[in-house]
Amino acid sequence: MKKVLVFVHLWVGLVSGAVLSVVGITGSLYVFQPELTGLFYSQYYQTQNTGPVFPAAQVVQKAEAQFQEPIATLNFPTRELENYQIKLLKKKEWLFYDFHTGEFLGEMKQRRGVFEGILELHRQLTLGETGSLITGTCALLMAIVLLSTGLYLWFPRKKRLLKDGLRYKKGAGPKRRVYDLHNVTGFYASIPLFIMAVTGVNFAFPEETQTAFNQITATTERMPAGKKLKSAYVANAESIDVEQALQRMATYYPNHAKRSLAMPKDSVGTILFTFVEDPTVGAGPELRPMVYLDQYTGKEIYHFNPETSPRGARILRNWFIPIHFGEVGGYVTRVLWFVLGFLPAFLWVSGFVIWRNKKCKNKFATVKAG
């Protein structure tokens, strides 16, 4: 039995470890994305002005008039990013406008700059849906296979040996030191790595993850996938314009900060409002209400309320994002998550060295016997 588990742990680790190393390191780099984006691209994200807020409707009008293109998305200032961010329907670049004066600050192809590429590498390995499938599968393998087999192989068969599995042996030789680094470090990191993996799977397999949590929480009602929600097309009917959409948006969640407004991209698209209870990078759950409207009638198609929606949806929407990126405990867990993100690469390299050492040892024994 042990030989089988060693084989499974070894080869699943060697194959998936390369992917998990990339995902872990890029995840670490992304932990402090809001602050670093604001720092690296301060000319776009930081305002030097104070006073009244420049109305969102007017900044949209200004952008549409300036570039002769209708708006697709308006992001409000949240999470250390202090200015408006606008995406027009057919213009590739994101536009930035001062939150207090409405002044045009410039444009960038990637809204988060270099961190957009880091996030894409983290989630999809720059391979689109195929990459998402790969990263999600590797995260599942880590949560279900690598950690379970690793803990089984770590567990001492004799109680007197338990202390050896909990500490790094002093004065050990190079091979033993590598073994301890892999074995002991893997034990202590197993729970946070499991949490990272499970919450990360949700990004690759959202519907399957929701099904699982609905089963666990005895939730019968599903949260629909936003991309699948459609407006009821009406021939020759006019859609709600941006000003009307902003007026409707103002009627929801007066005690929350506005997060984004997304206008429909085609004749059956929806209007989407999102809000956030805490506009800073705070600790605890991240409460993000969402409202989808029919673009012709303005009627609600779906409304996610983070306090009253079905339990399974609340767990996924409120907790998985702050847990996955380490924000759930504030700066303490963010720093911890930053460090832990490098562990998959560390465990992969140390596991590879252990395998090579054993392979060389077996080869030497075979030569000596011959």
Flag whether 296 is in a domain: no
Tell me if 313 sits within 8 A of 113, measured CB to CB.
no
Stretch 35-56: mean pLDDT, rounded? 93
2-30 vs 343-369: helix crossing angle, rounded to 10:
150
Whether residue 152 lies inside any domain: the answer is: yes
Instruction: Judge whether residue 228 has pLDDT over 50.
Output: yes
Q: Which amino acid is at 288?
A: R
Q: Which residues are CB-neighbours of 346 under 8 A, at least 6 positions away?
A: 181, 185
More confident position, 29 or 172: 29
What pLDDT does residue 276 have? 95
Residue 277 forms part of a structural domain = no
Mean pLDDT, residues 215-226 taken together: 88
Domain that holds residue 145: 2-32+117-219+333-369
* Residue 322: C-alpha distances to residues 199, 246, 275, 315 (Å): 10, 28, 16, 11
Taking alpha carbons only, the member of 278, 300, 296 closest to residue 224 is: 300
Question: In this predicted structure, what is the pLDDT of residue 282?
Answer: 84
- Local structure of 301: helix, strand or coil: strand
CA-wise closest residue to 285 among 225, 252, 245, 325: 325
Asked if the structure places residue 364 within a domain, the reply is: yes
Q: Is residue 308 part of a domain?
A: no
Q: Considering only CA atoms, which of 305, 307, 225, 219 is closest in space to residue 270?
A: 225
Residue 288: inside a domain: no
| pLDDT tier for residue 361 given thresholds of 50, 70 and 90 | low
Q: By C-alpha distance, which of 177, 170, 190 is closest to 350?
A: 177
Tally of domains in the chain:
1
What pLDDT score was predicted for residue 40?
Answer: 94
Residues counted in the chain = 370
Residue 110: its H or E element: none
**Strand, helix or coil for residue 57:** helix
Taking all residues of the chain, what is their mean pLDDT, rounded to a whole number? 91
| pLDDT of amino acid 367 | 45
Q: What is the pLDDT of residue 127?
A: 94
State the average pLDDT over residues 253-267.
95
Statement: residue 157 has pLDDT above 80: no
Q: What is the 3-state secondary structure (H, E, C) of 119-139?
A: HHHHHHCCCHHHHHHHHHHHH
Q: 260 by DSSP, 3-state: which?
A: strand
Alpha carbons 161 and 184: distance in angstroms, whole number: 13
The answer, yes or no, to whether residue 126 has pLDDT greater than 60, is yes
- Asked if the structure places residue 143 within a domain, the reply is yes
> What's the confidence (pLDDT) of residue 363?
53
Mean pLDDT of 250-278: 95
